Chain A
Amino acid sequence: MSKTGAAERAASALQPLAPPADTSPPDTVGMAPAVSRLDASDDDFFIPDFCATRMVFAVVLVAELLAVTLSLARPTADFLTELARVSMFLQWLGLTSAAVLCYARRGLKRLSVARSSLAVFGLLAVNTAVISELALWFETGFDYATVGAVLAPSASWPFLLRNIGICVIVTALLLRYFFVTHQWHTHVHAEARSRIQALQARIRPHFLFNSMNTIAALTRSDPARAEEAVEDLADLFRATLRDSHSPLRLKEELELTRIYQRIEVLRLGDRLKVTWNVAELPMRALVPGLTVQPLLENAIYHGIEPLPDGGTVTVAGRVVNGEIEIVVTNPVALDGAVSERSGNRLALDNIRQRLALAYGARGSLNVEQQPEQYRVTIRFPFSE
């Protein structure tokens, strides 16, 4: 078979990666924290890396803009000379500040946002004072009088204080800018990640391909049922691809769950039985889309499929104090190895998040794990 050559090659290519003993198969959840940790180690600090060429260039640019601003603000006859003087001073100030931040960044990283900001203010103010003193030296040349002035810098106080004042204001603006930009970046990252997770939680490849296989089998042996299965699958995926934030009537959500059940029964036959106990529920109530169906999917994937003789999943619903409560219970294989698989948590976290998003603290998802039973309960307020 042509695949075998590829298979052997793949196997040998994977050899160095092959773990020594009891390493579980690669799972998506395991990857996620690793990725975020990678992010965190590098970029989870709001003050950018001033050692980078790009940042040094930005510093030069900002210093020059500031020089132009200050020179324009000062009523002098010779603008260009003034600009040259101020530029010279500000470029020195800017580059030394960048150098200070470049070295201090690693230490600052360990502090909280407030503390590291204070430290930055302190470092840059000291740097400004030192550079200002040096500038004074150059302006007046080296004579004993100036050395005296430096040692007892009362003569340069006004100049020093003015510079430190400007430094503090500019630093404050920049820090605020860095902080807001960083927050925005973090937010965009988190959103992208949660979208991917949501998609993975909603379309379980295992289910998709097994359903395809079932349909392929039925196409010949029972075309009518194959047709029905394709229709069911289409309905289910349409629901999956819909915006998950727009709510559904409970009736529609339960209908989708039954459609899903129908597809799984084709595949699992007698092994899957579902007991519905939802007559008490108000069918016009609103629910976030895909909250009940994934619970049944989980119960089947982790509960029924690993059991050689299958079992019964119970879906029960009732209204308690104006809150809707839906409980899905499934049997668990005594050897719980399979049910601990990570996909479970992913799907449940996803539903929990969506309930929290829609109802805040009033929406909840609880899991009870007993030796032979796994029970998930969701609660949310009744709204129409």
Chain B
Amino acid sequence: MSAGLSVLIVDDELPARERLQRLVSEVPGCAVAGVCANGPDALALVHKLDPAVVLLDIRMPGMTGIEVARHLGALESPPAIVFTTAYDEYALEAFEAQAVGYLLKPVRRERLEVALKHASRLSAAQLHRLNTPEQPIAARQHVAVRVRDELKLIPLKSIRYFEADQKYVTVRHTGGEDLLDEPLKQLEEEFARDFARAHRSVLVAIAHIEALERVGEDNYALRLRGEAEPLAVSRRQVAELRRRLQKA
């Protein structure tokens, strides 16, 4: 094993963190780079410490380990992710998120060693491939954007709409505007439950719509809560939007 494999431990329960910390420090060639108790902290620490491996608890309040893994997967040089969980009802989802490994709590020392050893052998390219899910299975609760050099999480609930430009997608949310590096089509599929197309390049949050208004002869526009400018609606989408609004 290469010297100084740095490991970040993420678990919402103190005894679980303490135990993993002790086990990792006992594995030769491994060092605990950091410890934290929730998803957003984990993302910040990964950015700050650049660990080689993240031991990630799955069931955490606020943001689940699965979601953390998906955000990490979008990084340029992602860490290897090893999930830890007490009960394996999440196994399928974890494999979908393409983790390097999967440890059941209480974690056995030998299994931890094997998992860390395996993780240390993977190249950045392999990790990138592993960490990028082919097909998202559950919608995220946050969208991660890169602001300068930091990962910033925007809660899905605060997003008013996504607007596709030539290359980027602009996220318009209650806290302002950010650029996102994901195709609109994919966003539409993932967030189909809460978002709908307003026209070809705009995906709007149903919950933020105040009214659907007629403009002129037979053009329509959406008024959003907290937005001064109405959003243009393509005629093809009017019926669908009306249906979604009635349902909501």
Contacts and interface: CB of A to CB of B under 8 A. Distances in A.
Interface of A: 1-4, 7-8, 10-11, 14, 18-23, 25-26, 205-206, 209-210, 212-218, 220-221, 266-269, 305-308, 333, 335
Contacts of A213: 13, 15-16, 19, 86, 105-107
B6 interface: no
Contact of B95 (A1, A14, A216, A217): A14
B102 A7 contact: yes
A269 B96 contact: no
Report which residue of A8, A209, A215 has the largest number of chain B beta carbons within 10 angstroms of its beta carbon.
Answer: A209
B105 A209 contact: yes
Nearest to B92: A14
A221 B111 CA distance: 21
Given A4-B118, A26-B92, A308 B38 contact: yes
B139 A22 contact: yes
A-B CB proximity, top 9 nearest: A217-B15, A1-B118, A217-B19, A209-B86, A11-B95, A216-B106, A213-B105, A1-B115, A1-B114
Given A4-B101, A19-B137, A216-B106, A209 B92 contact: no
B150 interface: no
A1 B13 contact: no
28 contacts: A1-B111, A1-B117, A2-B114, A4-B100, A4-B101, A4-B118, A11-B95, A14-B92, A20-B135, A21-B192, A22-B138, A25-B89, A25-B90, A205-B89, A209-B86, A209-B104, A209-B106, A210-B13, A210-B86, A212-B106, A213-B13, A213-B15, A213-B16, A220-B22, A266-B15, A268-B13, A306-B61, A308-B38
A7 B19 contact: no
Given A4-B100, A308-B38, A26 B18 contact: no
A269 B141 contact: no
A19 B111 CA distance: 30
Interface string B199-234: 000000000000000000000000000000000000
A306 B87 CA distance: 16
A232 to B, nearest CB: 14
A222 to B, nearest CB: 9
A216 to B, nearest CB: 4
Nearest to B100: A4
Contact of A267 (B13, B100, B118, B138): B13
A27 B245 CA distance: 31
B19 A10 contact: no
A218 B119 CA distance: 28
Interface residues of B, number: 47
Nearest to B113: A1
Q: Which residue, A3, A18, A215, A305, has most C-beta atoms of chain B within 10 A?
A: A3
Question: Which among A215, A217, A221, A266 has the highest number of chain B CB atoms within 10 Å?
Answer: A217
Given A1-B119, A21-B189, A335-B141, A308 B13 contact: no
Nearest to B63: A308
Contacts of B13: 210, 213-214, 267-269
A364 B139 CA distance: 38
A8 B100 CA distance: 9
B87 A11 contact: no
Nearest to A212: B106
A38 B91 CA distance: 27
B173 interface: no
A367 to B, nearest CB: 22
A208 to B, nearest CB: 8
Contacts of A7: 95, 99, 101-102
A44 to B, nearest CB: 31
A305 B138 CA distance: 20
Nearest to B117: A1
Interface string B1-32: 00000000000111110110010000000000
A26 B89 contact: yes
Nearest to A268: B13
A210 B190 CA distance: 32
A21 B111 CA distance: 32
Nearest to B103: A3
A7 B118 CA distance: 13
A25 B106 contact: no
B47 interface: no
B175 interface: no
Given A3-B111, A221-B18, A307-B61, A18 B118 contact: no
Given A7-B102, A11-B95, A21-B137, 15 more contacts: A4-B118, A7-B95, A18-B92, A18-B96, A19-B137, A20-B135, A22-B193, A23-B137, A26-B89, A212-B86, A213-B16, A213-B106, A308-B12, A308-B62, A335-B141
Contacts of B92: 14, 18, 25-26
Contacts of B18: 217, 221
B165 interface: no
B59 interface: yes
Interface in B48-70: 59, 61-62
A333 B101 contact: no
A209 B87 contact: yes
Contacts of B139: 22
